[in-house]
Amino acid sequence: MPTYRVIEKKQKSFVHGRLTASDLEKLINKTAQDEWTLDRIVAGETARVLLGDKNMFFLIFRKD
């Protein structure tokens, strides 16, 4: 039975700035070292009252 792991990343952060392709690649490779396989990436927005929307990436990893 497969096990899943979800990592939530903001597309943009006040502290870290914008998420770049290089940052995403490093995160995927770091997680893959622990024998997780990237299953899919889901992009979406979350609605926040008074603060505007927040663009997010959800990286879904799978381990068999």
The predicted model scores a pTM of 0.77
Instruction: Say if CB 53 and CB 46 are below 8 A apart.
Output: yes
Question: What confidence tens digit (pLDDT) does each residue in 2-22 have?
Answer: 999 999 988 776 666 778 889
Question: If you ran DSSP here, which 8-state letter would residue 20 be given?
Answer: P
Phi and psi angles of residue 40, each rounded to the nearest 5 degrees, phi first: -170, 160
Say whether pLDDT at 64 is over 90: yes
Percent of the chain with pLDDT over 90: 52
Give the CA dihedral 46, 38, 1, 8, nearest 10 degrees: -30
Domain boundaries, the chain: 3-63
CA angle at 42 for the pair 44 and 49, rounded to the nearest 5°? 20
